[in-house]
Structures are given as structure tokens and as C-alpha cells.
A and B are shown apart, each in its own frame.
Chain A
Amino acid sequence: MNPSPKPQPDAEAGRYLTFSLGDESYGFPVLKVREIIRLCPITPVPRMPAYVKGVINLRGTVIPVFDLRAKFQFATTSYGERSCIIVVQVATPSGENTMIGTIVDAVEEVVHLTTADIEAAPDFGGAPDTQCILGLATIQGGVKTLLNVEKIFLEDGSFSLTSTPKLEV
């Protein structure tokens, strides 16, 4: 018995790039992904939230790099052989396009998902991060969480990060 109509997922059918964080599997819409690069030296930016790893030089453009693990508050481990940076293009609330690098544990594959594969994110009981979940996809027995790139890194509705308050006594 299904008491309420099934909620519609935000995710559209199409191709998704899947990657792993720890034991879990996630996906970005492929259209948002600009490139995947190997982990390179990252220049840390002072007084930023912990998930902000710093900035890198992407062929002449300086782009910020965020750690998805830290963002999702997973246990931090050191980066492994397969760790890499997925560069995604996001539209800022002000309508501009900007590039952001996200560190993930490993890139898996590009999968094609039909509407039948995708279901809406269940209500996790007030978990804060459900907003950035487009939907869940079940393929080959595994569940992949499809992420809304635009919403993951929004802080108070804006991409702009504020310096962490001065740590003073």
C-alpha cells in the first residue's frame, strides 16, 4: 500500500558521472562536468571552512578546490592512488558560470539513467543535505546518490565564502 503519491525526483534521465566517497557512490550530471584531473599540489587558502582545500591553476585560471568528503563530514583519510579532482561548471545565483574542483576518492563510470532508474530522495528526517540530492538511482544492485552540483557548495544561498572568524581568546 502506498499512502501518498510517489514524489517526483529532481533528477532527469540522462548520463551521469559516478564516483565514490568511502563506501558510497555518487553521481554528477555529465553535462556539468568539465574535466577530471589528477590530484595536484593545492595552494591552501587561509581562514576558510575545512572543506575548502584551496586553489589550483587550471591552465591559467585559478579555481577553488573543495573536498567532498569534508563537505559531507566523512572521516578524513589521506588521499589515495585513485583520488582525483572533478572540475564542474556551476551557475552562481547571480547567473555567472564558474568552475569548481571537487576532490573525490575515485571516479567510477559514466552511466545512462532512465526515469525508471531514478527515484526521489527519501525524507531522511531532517538531514541537512537532502537539498543537494537530485535523486537516488538504483543500478546493478547499487544505490547511487545523484547530486545537485549547484546546491552542494552554496553557503547561505551564495557561493561566496566568508573568512572564518578570528580564532582569538
Chain B
Amino acid sequence: MLRDNFRKSSLLYLPKVAEIISQLGEELAFVAPNKDAGLLPVNRFLMDLEELAEHVPPAVAAGVKAARGWLDEILDGPAIFTDKSIRDLNTWHAWLTSALLAWERGTAMPAWPDKWDESRPAVAKEELVKNGATRFPLEAEESAVRLNLPDDLEFLRAFRDESLELLDDIEQCALVLEDNPTDVVTINSIFRAFHTFKGGAGFLHLEALRVLAHDLESLLDAVRRADLCITSDIIDLVLSGADALKQFTREVSAQLQGENPGAPILVPTRKIVERVQSLLRGEKTLAVSAAVIADTSEALTFAGFAVETSDPVETSDPKAVLSKVSPTSTDTMGESATARAFVKLDTAKLDNLVDIVGELVIAQSMVVQDPDVQKINSLQLVRCLRQLSRITTDLQRNAMSLRMVPVRPMFHKMKRLVRDLATQQQKLIQLVLEGEETELDRNIVEKLGDPLVHMIRNAIDHGLEDPADRAAKGKPEFGTIRLSASHQRGGIVIRIQDDGRGLDRERILDTAIERGLVKASENVTDSEIFSLIFLPGLSTVEKITEVSGRGVGMDVVRRNIENLRGKIEILSLPGRGTTFTILLPLTLAIIDGLLVGVGNDRYIIPTLSVRESFRPKPGMVSAVHEQGEVISVRGRQTPLLRLSRYLGTPSRAINPEDGIVIVVESGESARGLLVDALIGKQEVVVKSLGGAFAKQNILAGGAVLGDGGVGLILDVDTLVKLPNHPVGVQSPNSSSIL
């Protein structure tokens, strides 16, 4: 009676089947090549599945039957597992898992791979070995990978971290190959990276990935052995392979963070594996890009990258073109042989170290300057103190340098972006990178990525013209984007330069007037017009982005850069291109500051925002009716803010002539700040003031000064943007402050 009910709905058998399959999976996890361990349990579970054959969907039953055939082969033959049979069984298991999922959800079954129906002829295997590729019966559906989170947690974490690095390396190397397809060192390092990845994936039984990595490795191996030469197809394959693996790694990461733990991960690898295998078999690729290359130019350049390509027809005869790969670049080999060793470090520990070293420097100077110590008349002590200060200075410099990383990885990401966009938009673009070695605080590098992507995207979308347009204007067909980094003005300058059509001055001005951002009567300079594109009101207007380009989220770009305490400037010449110059501090942790005295207190003004400082002469300051005071700086009337009044501390400088005016700027506006005295200029380590002061915007932070006290860093942005005080303002009641 009960049994009849079960039969009515085969779905009731699903849990049973699922249980067997998961047990089977566990057994498969423990089998090893050239051993028979696990063979019998696997066989037993398979028999259990066969018993349920009439209750499961036909596709699943057929799958079980196929595995039966393989297992019989093993049992009849050597009775041990081989690499291949393990891989087959694992892939089969993955297929079955996804079939089960489809069964449960009532969706279409993953298509049945027809190759599984054939008995597997030995000839096919041999052909495969010859090609250096696994000809594995390709799963018609993408195979799902399931993580064994509880057991493999630690391994998976390590795998994720390592993989992300490897995949980044692969991506960068692939782009190097585009420029230099014969670089043996680079080919080797891609090969090694895929090999390492394969090892990790194999260890964790991530079968689909292992197969993909293996095939890509074989592909690179073929290149290495000069059976194939690097074409843009191969590079495309390597890149899309890396992308697929990256996607998977991201999923792993998400599951490690507790999102849908244990859910099967679908990796779209099938097409890539097919393409790799067909390439290895010497067939024409399925990709269309080869055709594009043939069209674009005979100079074998593609999308602006000097890629050695072969005619698609020639691919079938690799020997004809292969001599490209030769050990000509041995010189670079020596370079990579001296690769330095690295240690991975928690950034919190690093920040802590920097903090402590900062304290040490202060403690050291307090000892040296202590009056009691200075009274001691001992040459020995003086020598020791000198030695101490030398060591602490060195230590501080070293600690600071720990946080510095070269901009190269970030720049190389842009290469990929340019390549993709150029292909997409059929433009010819050449990306020139300069100063990749320049080092920046890693916090800055991390946050600089998005703005850079944005600006380069803009430059390609709107700045650079189509090849035809460029030719018509008498420009080279190749548009150039120059991305450079250099040390300048005590900071870092990042420059993004294109030789496109430039900003449309009139268009921007018209829209700004239309939007009420600028009065039509106003006389505006070019730089003022260009900086309008940073205004949110302007950038969101679809029309202007179409016509003049730039502006999609440029306000966000500027905000990001200002958050990094940087500045951005634009220079644009119609028809000649646009240059964005980003000025950044070397590090966020240290700023160059002017120490100023206001009443009894000391404040720090970041030097980057200071335009000039001087002692005003009588007559320079004048009161404007209901507009506060202005000071005339080089013929320009600049609003003046008396800091003591604003901050509420009694000032010694009643007349402006008794104090110092510091002209600060933020964005396009400037303001004079009247302070009592200029105490000095010094580098300070910026400290957060903490949550209690998170809401105020007068102070940007604090810094520990030489005497151990805290100096407050003024937020110049706020001060510059304050509405002007009326002249007669009463100073705030200072007794409430201290």
C-alpha cells in the first residue's frame, strides 16, 4: 500500500537518490589514482542507484547506466582508479548532481552528453594525448561544483586567496603577451599559474575548474613547445578562462562568507573548454574575433594592441608560423629569477606598527629635548642620543614604506579595460603606461581604481574618435591614452591624457547656463568651464554626455579624489585631447602641514591646500557691506575668515596686520584665513578623532605633535565653503569652550 503511493510520485524517491549520490560523492573524494581504495563502496552505491532506476527520471537512469559501464571497465581491467577514471567519475557526479537539482525543481534536465553513449574507443584517447588535451566528454550543461565547506574550510580560504592572485597574474601576463607574443618568460608564468590553480582545484575536487585549468595549461604548453603561436584567440581564451575561474572563486568567497553555503556553483566553462580543445586539435576557432582581425588591418594589430596574429587559415598549420616563440627574451628571465620573496600581512598590524613607531619618535624627541637631560654634560650621552634619533628616523621611514605599493597592478587593470572597450567599440587605441614603479600608499591605490576606470572609460567612450574620423582629421588612426604616475610637488601626480576631440567648451557652458549653474553674463575662464563637468547637476544630464562626453559621474570621481585629499585638474584643447591631472598625497597617514597659532591653540592646515601665506599690509583688508571682509590678493578680492572668531578663541591679532593670512583653496574657490602666527611646517601623522567628533566638519583629524600634545587639523573644504561672516560678528563665548 505504502509502496504504491511512493510509485505514484517518483519525486518521493528524490531524497533517497540524493542521499546515495552524496555518499557516493564522499567516496569519490577519497579515491586516489593507482589505488583501489573506494572502488567497492562506489560500486555498491552505484548498484543501489540501479535498483532505483525505475523511480528516477530516464536521464538520471541513463547516467547511472553509463557510470556502470565505466566501473565495469575498471573492475574488469586493472581494478584500480586512474587519473582519468577519477576525473570522469567526478564530472559524472557533478552532472548527476545538477540533474538531481533539475529533477527537484522540475526544470529541464541537463542535456545528455552524447559521447557518453559510445563505448570509449582507445583511438580517441591516443589522439587526445597527442594533442596534449583532455578530451573529456563535455558536459552539455555547465557542470555544477559543490563545496565541502565544513571539511575544506581552511583549504578553501587558502585556495581563494591564492587563486585571486594567480588569476590577476594570468590576466596581466596575457596582456603582456599581446604586446610581446614571443615572451617566453610570460608564457611560462601563465603556464605555471594555471598549473598551480589546477593543483589547488584538484585537491579540493573542484572538477570543472580543474578540467578548465588543465586544458588552458595544455594550451600554454603547446605554445611553449612552439606547436602553436600566440594569437589573439589564445589570449582571448586565456582571459575568458581566467574570468570564468575568477567568477568561480568569487562564488567560493561568497559561500565562505556564509552566502548559500553548500549551494552548487555553476561555472560556465564548457564553451571555453570546447574552444581550447578545438584549438589544440588545430581547428579554426569558433570565435569571431579572428575574422575581425583579418578585417582590421594586415599589420596584425588588433584593437590597438600589437598582437602577432596568424591568418585563421594558418592556425591549422601551426608549424608555418610557430617560430615566433623562441627564447629571445632570455634577458627578462634573469630579471624574474631574482624575484623577491613576500610576506602577507594583516593591514591592521601594519597600521598598528606605524602608530607605535610614531609614538617612539615622539618619545625619543621628548627625551632629547628634556631640560634635565640637556643639562647633563656628557659626550657619551650626546653620542647615544644622536644614534637613537638616527635609528628612530630610519625606523619611521621604513615603517612608512611598508604601506607603499607600486601603482603597476592598478595600471595593468586599465590595460584590460582599454582592450575590452576598444574591441567593443571598434576603436584603435594604444594605452601607454608610464611610471608604473611609482609607489603610493596602498589605501590610496585601492581607492583610486574606480575613478581611473571612470575617466579612462570616458576618454574611450567620448574622447577618442573612430579610426575613420581620426584619419579625416589628419590624426593617426590609433588613439593614444597615456596613463602616467610621477613624483611631483611632494606628492604623486597621476595623469590621464588622451588625444581625442577634447571637451566641448560651448556645450558645457550652454548647459550650465541652462541649468542655472552659471549666469550668462558671467565671464568664465576655460578652467572654470571645464571644472563644471564635476558638478553633479551637469554630469547627470544625458544630453551633454552624448555630445561633449565626460561627465558621467565625474562628480563622483572628484569626490573620491578629494576624499583621498587629492586634487584634480583638467586641461583640454579642442581637437587635441584632454588631460586630467590628479594630485595625490604620498600617503593618507602623513600630511605636510602648516602649524598655525590661533589664540592659545595650535591648528594644522594641510599644505596641499595652501596657496600662499603672508603678513597683510594695512589697507589690504576691507569690509564689504553685509559680506564680511575681503582681502586683496594679487588684485583679486578673496573673502577673509578670522579663524579666532570662527573657532571661538580670543585672538592676539585684533588688526589683520598683526596676524598672518593663509590663502587656502578647495576646488575652485579660495579663502584667506587670518591666524595669529605661523609656528612651523611639519609632517604629521593623521589620526582619526573618533566617533565622538564624526559629525562635525570643522576638523579633518588630529595629529600628535612633537611635544606629545594633539594638534587639530582643519578641514579646509569646510572653511572655504562657509558663507561669509558679517563684519560685526561677536566672537563666540569662549568660556563655553574651555
In contact, A98 and B690 (Cβ under 8 angstroms): yes
Say yes or no: is A96 at the interface (Cβ < 8 Å to chain B): yes
Docked Cα-Cα span, A123 to B648, in Å, equals 39
Say yes or no: is A169 at the interface (Cβ < 8 Å to chain B): yes
In contact, A46 and B737 (Cβ under 8 angstroms): yes
In contact, B710 and A57 (Cβ under 8 angstroms): yes
In contact, B736 and A164 (Cβ under 8 angstroms): yes
Q: Which of A9-17, A31-39, A61-69, A130-138 contacts B (4 or more CB under 8 A)?
A: A61-69
In contact, B687 and A43 (Cβ under 8 angstroms): no
Min Cβ gap B181→A in Å is 52
| A168-B729 contact, Cβ under 8 Å, with A46-B648, A162-B695, A162-B696 | yes
In contact, A54 and B695 (Cβ under 8 angstroms): no
**Could you say which residues of chain A place their CB within 8 Å of the CB of B737?**
44, 46-48, 50
In contact, A153 and B687 (Cβ under 8 angstroms): no
**Could you say which residues of chain B place their CB within 8 Å of the CB of A151?**
none
The residue in chain B whose Cβ has the minimal distance to the Cβ of A166 is B732
> Could you give, for residues 530-562 of chain B, a 1 whenever the CB lies within 8 Å of some chain A CB and a 0 otherwise?
000000000000000000000000000000000
> Could you give, for residues 42-81 of chain A, a 1 whenever the CB lies within 8 Å of some chain B CB and a 0 otherwise?
0111111110111111011111100000000000000000
In contact, A163 and B690 (Cβ under 8 angstroms): no
Say yes or no: is B268 at the interface (Cβ < 8 Å to chain A): no
> Quick one: which of B695, B711, B732 contacts A167, CB cutoff 8 A?
B732
Which chain A residues (132-169) contact chain B, with CB distance < 8 Å?
153, 158-164, 166-169
> Could you give, for residues 254-271 of chain B, a 1 whenever the CB lies within 8 Å of some chain A CB and a 0 otherwise?
000000000000000000
Say yes or no: is B725 at the interface (Cβ < 8 Å to chain A): yes
The residue in chain B whose Cβ has the minimal distance to the Cβ of A43 is B710
In contact, B355 and A61 (Cβ under 8 angstroms): yes
In contact, A62 and B688 (Cβ under 8 angstroms): yes
**Could you say which residues of chain B place their CB within 8 Å of the CB of A52?**
692
Say yes or no: is A83 at the interface (Cβ < 8 Å to chain B): no
Docked Cα-Cα span, A43 to B647, in Å, equals 13
**Could you say which residues of chain B place their CB within 8 Å of the CB of A163?**
695-698
> Could you give, for residues 95-131 of chain A, a 1 whenever the CB lies within 8 Å of some chain B CB and a 0 otherwise?
0101110000000000000000000000000000000
Q: Which of B166-174, B446-454, B503-511, B701-709 contacts A (4 or more CB under 8 A)?
A: B701-709
In contact, A46 and B726 (Cβ under 8 angstroms): no
Bin the interface of chain A by size.
35 or more
In contact, B358 and A100 (Cβ under 8 angstroms): no
**Could you say which residues of chain B place their CB within 8 Å of the CB of A166?**
732
**Could you say which residues of chain B place their CB within 8 Å of the CB of A160?**
691-695
> Quick one: which of B601, B646, B690 contacts A63, CB cutoff 8 A?
B690
In contact, A60 and B710 (Cβ under 8 angstroms): no
Min Cβ gap A39→B in Å is 13
Number of interface residues of B (CB under 8 A): 41
**Could you say which residues of chain A place their CB within 8 Å of the CB of B728?**
169
**Could you say which residues of chain B place their CB within 8 Å of the CB of A5?**
none
Min Cβ gap B348→A in Å is 14
Which chain B residues (656-700) contact chain A, with CB distance < 8 Å?
687-699
Min Cβ gap B31→A in Å is 47
Docked Cα-Cα span, A61 to B694, in Å, equals 15
**Could you say which residues of chain B place their CB within 8 Å of the CB of A47?**
647-648, 696, 698, 732, 737
| A44-B691 contact, Cβ under 8 Å, with A62-B704, A167-B648, A169-B728 | no
Say yes or no: is A92 at the interface (Cβ < 8 Å to chain B): yes
Most buried by B among A45, A64, A162, A169: A45
Min Cβ gap A72→B in Å is 16
| A64-B702 contact, Cβ under 8 Å, with A50-B736, A53-B738, A169-B729 | no
| A45-B691 contact, Cβ under 8 Å, with A59-B359, A60-B358 | no
Say yes or no: is B329 at the interface (Cβ < 8 Å to chain A): no
**Sample of 8 A–B contacts (CB below 8 Å):** A44-B738, A46-B698, A47-B737, A55-B710, A62-B704, A62-B710, A99-B690, A166-B732
Beyond the given pairs A61-B355, A100-B692, A163-B696, 7 more chain A to chain B contacts, judged by CB atoms under 8 angstroms and listed by A's residue number, are A43-B602, A43-B712, A44-B601, A45-B712, A46-B601, A60-B356, A62-B704
8 nearest CB pairs, A to B = A167-B732, A46-B647, A160-B695, A43-B710, A62-B702, A64-B692, A60-B359, A60-B355
